[in-house]
Chain A
């Protein structure tokens, strides 16, 4: 087990550097003047250009810039924006909101998706089954921003049940609507995955054995069936974590949440290269680690899987 984790961690290293270098290259090495528009309606004074070139090592080759940046990052220094603000502060202010939003989204999609999936998987072809199949199709087809605007308009403006935008820092109850919007497509996928997986496994031998030896239905489903059917769902949720953080750009924009997604979008638009790269590095790291944790969870859920 320990050796497996070590090997996987070692495999992560080239992927981590590859992905972050790709983004670094896209952000910094593009043709064009990095100081365009930085000083308002006039060209930047030479002293400013010299100072910034020195500060961000812009005169070095890109690969040297990248490794200088990484060296600083690994010692905990995220660097500064062009305006001189510490990027670490910026991230620290925005990150908790995004984590809250992602937690709410994952809870909503996990609970509703699993319940719908398990219920339909156990009774296939009923009315409820068809209802879930059709509504999941619609949820998959609805882009996040369309669903967000429609719900914001309907629940927030017309009916006035929820506040159309959230305050800063947001409370959990305010995040229910944005969380639902963010997790809606994944909720549909989870419901479908769980349905297929439950339906397949409920015909298997170990379920028949458990029923035959007289276990109550609740225990057969809750312990034997669910534990084995959860594997694809867990995989999906783990992979989804990365997607949720990226998809939060749209949701945070619509509901005016001061999170990492809005921060990174703003940074891309204002060409704050250092901020973009720092946030992307964190997102990539989370994504890779989430995938690793998912792989390790397999062993806990399915005793047949052993990592040597």
Chain B
């Protein structure tokens, strides 16, 4: 995966090229025809033929729109409770029924997407940035810095994930603390980053170690490129693919993790609307009103599934061994 050229030469079916070119839109197909495609182009050609990719992409776009503009889907308020309709089961008026405080479950499920997506995407971006930076430093510099970063990574990955997150969140976001919604989200994001960066660091470090002695790096160095240029122009673009795959799946994992922490009562908290909080509130009424648990759980699973499927599709597209 270090050198994009051979894979694109081997797997490009030239006969299909014109057909694909016309579907991509006029203009782009003609220019691309003679140029050998890079790894990302190649992966894209592979991806667009996969139903798995399209299903997950549509789902993800759906959830993103839901997070950005929830009012498109519902006109009801997610926080307005009317006690007279407490635990009214689903009907034509309120598709998903009302919760204990008489709030519209459908509206809450829709508005709940925002918190989950913001936390998951924020934490993933943070993890990838920190992990990539540390991994490149450790792999490129080597020596004592490598040892230090690797040991540091082991220290953080030695803590069981849920346990570590509960301890951190309970310390900085305990029941007594009085924080705003964004501040709580920030703490949840930070604690997820702190506990998961070692894995992306390790992935990046091992691809940097493999690429460090490759011909194109040696050539760049021979032509007088400084370490900054080598890292940003050559190493990072060539080593990013495995981390990107990991990141896609990580978004899904973080959606689940945020819900788990909110469910345990240490993550987000009311009045923020989130699927985890809804499931937490629903657990006491599991036997009488199971729909309170079912709808947020279904949306949660669909969101996690969408990102995991996308990660799966991207991994297959980027890994030439699996073709």
Contact = CB atoms under 8 A, between A and B. Distances in A.
Interface of A: 14-16, 18-19, 22-23, 26-27, 30, 32, 36, 137-138, 140-146, 149-150, 152-153, 157, 242-243, 245-247, 249-250, 253, 264-265, 268-269, 276, 280, 283-284, 287-288
A146 B264 CA distance: 12
Nearest to A254: B283
Given A143-B304, A145-B263, A246 B151 contact: no
B263 A18 contact: no
B161 interface: yes
17 contacts: A18-B151, A18-B155, A18-B158, A26-B167, A26-B171, A137-B305, A138-B301, A138-B305, A143-B260, A146-B301, A149-B283, A149-B297, A243-B161, A246-B162, A250-B162, A280-B163, A284-B158
A19 B159 contact: yes
B264 A141 contact: no
B301 A142 contact: yes
Chain B's interface: helix, strand, loop or mixed, by majority?
helix
Nearest to B175: A269
Given A137-B312, A140-B304, 16 more contacts: A15-B154, A18-B152, A19-B158, A26-B168, A138-B301, A141-B305, A141-B308, A143-B300, A144-B260, A153-B287, A243-B161, A246-B160, A264-B163, A268-B167, A269-B170, A280-B167
A243 B160 contact: yes
A23 B167 contact: yes
Given A22-B155, A157-B287, A269-B170, A246 B163 contact: yes
Interface string B250-269: 00100010011001100000
Given A19-B159, A23-B167, A287-B158, A150 B304 contact: no
Contacts of A140: 304, 308
A25 B286 CA distance: 38
B290 A153 contact: yes
Contact of A146 (B162, B164, B300, B312): B300
Nearest to A239: B157
B43 interface: no
Contacts of B263: 145, 250
Interface string B273-293: 000000100010011001001
Interface of B: 151-152, 154-156, 158-164, 166-168, 170-172, 176, 252, 256, 259-260, 263-264, 279, 283, 286-287, 290, 293, 297, 300-301, 304-305, 308-309, 312
Contacts of B164: 23, 246
B151 A15 contact: yes
A287 B158 CA distance: 7
A178 to B, nearest CB: 16
B23 to A, nearest CB: 27
User: Which residue of A27, A145, A247, A264 has the most chain B CB atoms within 10 A of its CB atom?
Assistant: A145
Leading 6 A-B pairs by shortest Cβ distance: A246-B160, A18-B155, A141-B305, A141-B304, A19-B158, A143-B256
A276 B155 CA distance: 17
Nearest to B163: A246
B160 A283 contact: yes
Contacts of B279: 145-146, 149
B171 A150 contact: no
A242 to B, nearest CB: 6
Given A141-B304, A146-B297, A146-B300, A249 B158 contact: no
A144 B252 CA distance: 14
A249 B171 contact: no
Contact of A14 (B151, B260, B309): B151
Contacts of B158: 15-16, 18-19, 242, 284, 287-288
A268 B170 contact: yes
Contacts of A268: 166-167, 170
B31 to A, nearest CB: 37
A280 B162 CA distance: 12
